Amino acid sequence: MSAEAPLISLESVAVRHDEHVVLENVTTQVHAGELVYLIGRTGSGKSSLLRTLYGDLSLASGYGSVCGEDLTKLKPKNVHKLRRKLGMVFQDFGLLEDRSVDANLDFALKATGWTDRTKKARRIEEVLTAVGLPNKGYKLPFELSGGEQQRVAIARALLNDPPLLLADEPTGNLDPETTEEILSLMHELPRQGKTLVMATHDWASMDKRPGRVWRCENGQLVDTPVAVS
């Protein structure tokens, strides 16, 4: 483990979905450069845990911090401070359909405080190149394949160079070949020093690219150091 402060620290945390506690007594830490798979049956608490980590759900109880932000003190007015330190990738891409790729990324930069046009344009070019789409900025989302749209979503998550990325079933809407391409891209991130926590059902990927595993079952988070076979 790194001597640096963990990017995620949870102590006796309970995670609530609506009025129901779906996970309780969660105590764990995640440090820079780790790859963590989040697995479990539908309804076991995977998405609720991720939503808690990025400040969309409040802690039911316990203490948690993510990227140095105290989850117990998060309010709608200050949650943006946490979001600036995170990259989030979802199953449904979440792109604005009436805006070009460049405009989608520009919108995200504006929302996180970027104002300089030249710097924004340079950063957009950098992240699109990083995900293999250097010449697609003018296109609208519907003109892209599903895999390309997810690459744009990953590019958006990288805009602020966050130390931590959270991904909720990022390949759930993709075909097997495209899934492999996106997972290869995602799995490069820990090698670059970033931390990735990814909810997935893709057991083959876990075998191929071993990592730590968080398994949600029976209201508990079971933490194992390597991927299950």
Q: What is the pLDDT of residue 179?
A: 87
**pLDDT tens-digit map of 77-106:** 888 889 889 999 988 888 999 999 999 999
CATH number of 1-85+162-229: 3.40.50.300
Dihedral angle, C-alpha 78, 95, 216, 10, nearest 10 °: -20
**pLDDT tens-digit map of 180-217:** 888 888 888 888 889 999 998 777 777 778 789 999 99
Residue 171 pLDDT class (50, 70, 90 cuts): confident
> Which segments of the chain belong to CATH 3.40.50.300?
1-85+162-229
- Between CA 163 and CA 41 the distance in angstroms is 28
Rounded to the nearest integer, the mean pLDDT of the chain is: 90
- Between CA 226 and CA 190 the distance in angstroms is 15
Indicate the pairing of strand 212-217 with strand 35-40: parallel
